[in-house]
Homo-oligomer: A and B are copies of this chain.
Amino acid sequence: MNLSMVMDLYELSMANGFQQSLAGDEGVFDVFYRKVPDDGDFVISAGLESVITAVRDFHFDADDIQYIKNLNLFTPSFIDMLINFKFTGDISAIPEGIPVLPREPLLTVSGPLEQVQLLETIILNLINYQSLIATKAHRITSAAQGRAVMEFGSRRAQGPSAAVLGARAAIIGGCSSTSNVLAAKQYGLPISGTMAHSWIQAFPDELTAFKKWAEIYPDNCLLLIDTYDVLSSGLPHAIQVFKQLAADGHQPIGVRIDSGDIAALAREVRQVLDQAGLHKVKITASSALDEHIIHDMINDDVPLDSFGVGEKLITSATSPVLSGVFKLSAIRRHGEVIPKIKISGTASKVTLPGEKLTYRLYDRVTQQMVGDLIALKHEQVMDTIIGQRINGKVQSQEETLTHFIAIPLQQQVFNQGQVVYESPDVLHIQQVKNKNVTAITQTLAERTDYPVYISKALAQLQAELLNHNES
């Protein structure tokens, strides 16, 4: 699959038009979202590594070109541009694993209009989905309070690349492992897996199936105990096999319960295992789990050691869309920067114009995160600045921000078409996420929400453009 062709037709139509009508103009586009899935507080950024590869390798094969030519919509010089496509612009982006608030540019892409427009669909597709899943995985793993959460969703993922990219995003969001072989291979992720009911069904009886498994995987023996009946069949058979394993010098791993009243079953299973002296044998639950079910079970002290989470995670089932957009914020023409705005009847939907930088503000003394600031690129953001909140309940009120250290959130990723950023490995990104989430959660615990400010200069620019376009 050539990812460059995963593109809406109108990107081609507009790029063809830009080449004819606005040749030489550069566009500056921001990628941002407006609403956090599941009404959460923030989104965990993810997908940048795949965006870098997709943009670096952006190209059209001979048969792609032939198909596009045959649409009879485009000029020969545009087709030539596609044949020789090479991105020559800049991208800066918030690294993966960082909590991002609504309206903050996750990525900023700039370069010749006809180039940048072509990148819209694939960038949004990759960032929207992976950030969605990292965010959901963060919700689910938070609910698990330190217990392992295994990503299990490949069979219910929305297509093959969702299974693979979603597995990576799930690890970023806090999962301990994935079941997906390709994702584990490609991104060096921890992998795990047990057995399905078919293993047990294929043998004449459950005990034989368990014994065979223990023979083959004596040091990886995690048994699925709900094929026939957990308490009267699966558990006693598992205990029989575990005792033999232990006698042979192996440590049995655990049991998995995949159906029924998980909480009630887990309590009984724990008791019976303990009575059998199998205190180290762990209990794993699966079966359509999500953050709410896990949260409730842990609150009720259900004795579960880990969770296998499938469809609810890999599709973010209760909130399956992150609606990131790709909006023009400025045109560069002959060295001049012309800020651009998209108007809407809803104030929060009016875009933030101009070339901007987003800062995370830390208190100079306590080092605590105190809020984010979106300012114009050329502004000095030091020590004191007047800002105006754009999220939360209090809007449009000017506040003087002071005693902060401002750290820019975005890093440069492409410079004049060259990749200048190296993605950390996924487990490192997971650590970055943990650290940042701990910090923002601490701030959120002390306030009703986390403030995002725009600078007075940005607010004024927005007001000017609004007046200009409405007049």
Contacts and interface: CB of A to CB of B under 8 A. Distances in A.
A3 B152 CA distance: 17
Nearest to A227: B342
B161 A1 contact: yes
Contacts of A193: 8-10, 12-13
B154 A6 contact: yes
Contact of A6 (B10, B63, B160): B160
Count identical subunits in the complex. Answer: 2
Interface in A324-382: 324, 326-328, 331, 340-345, 349
A199 B258 CA distance: 52
A422 B193 CA distance: 36
A132 B156 CA distance: 10
Given A7-B181, A179-B10, A117 B158 contact: no
A450 to B, nearest CB: 25
A185 B69 CA distance: 12
Contacts of A197: 327-328, 342
B179 A158 contact: no
Contacts of A158: 129, 132, 157-159, 162, 166, 315, 320
Interface in A210-248: 212-213, 216-217, 220, 227-229
A76 to B, nearest CB: 14
B17 A213 contact: yes
A71 to B, nearest CB: 7
A465 to B, nearest CB: 10
B195 A14 contact: yes
A157 B125 contact: yes
Contacts of A220: 73
B185 A67 contact: yes
Contact of A202 (B6, B27, B217): B27
Interface string A66-103: 01100101000000000000000000000000000000
A198 B5 contact: no
A179 B315 contact: no
Nearest to A54: B160
A193 B6 CA distance: 14
A8 B129 contact: no
Contact of A181 (B12, B125, B345): B12
Interface in A18-37: 18, 20-22, 25, 27, 29
Interface string A182-215: 1011000001111111110111000000001100
A294 interface: no
A24 to B, nearest CB: 12
Contact of A10 (B166, B194, B212, B260): B194
A163 interface: yes
Contact of A345 (B3, B260, B315): B260
A120 interface: yes
Contact of A159 (B5, B165, B198, B229): B165
28 contacts: A6-B163, A7-B180, A8-B154, A8-B180, A8-B193, A9-B179, A9-B180, A9-B192, A10-B193, A12-B193, A13-B194, A13-B195, A14-B195, A17-B216, A27-B202, A64-B185, A124-B155, A125-B155, A125-B160, A129-B157, A129-B158, A129-B159, A159-B159, A159-B162, A159-B165, A160-B161, A202-B328, A311-B321
Interface of A: 1-3, 5-10, 12-14, 16-18, 20-22, 25, 27, 29, 63-64, 67-68, 71, 73, 113, 117, 120-122, 124-126, 128-129, 132, 152, 154-166, 179-182, 184-185, 191-199, 201-203, 212-213, 216-217, 220, 227-229, 259-260, 311-312, 315-317, 320-324, 326-328, 331, 340-345, 349, 469-470
Given A20-B216, A21-B212, A161-B162, 14 more contacts: A1-B161, A6-B154, A8-B181, A12-B193, A14-B198, A121-B163, A125-B159, A159-B161, A161-B161, A198-B326, A198-B327, A202-B340, A259-B345, A315-B320
Give 4 nearest A-B pairs by CB, closest first.
A9-B193, A10-B193, A5-B182, A158-B158
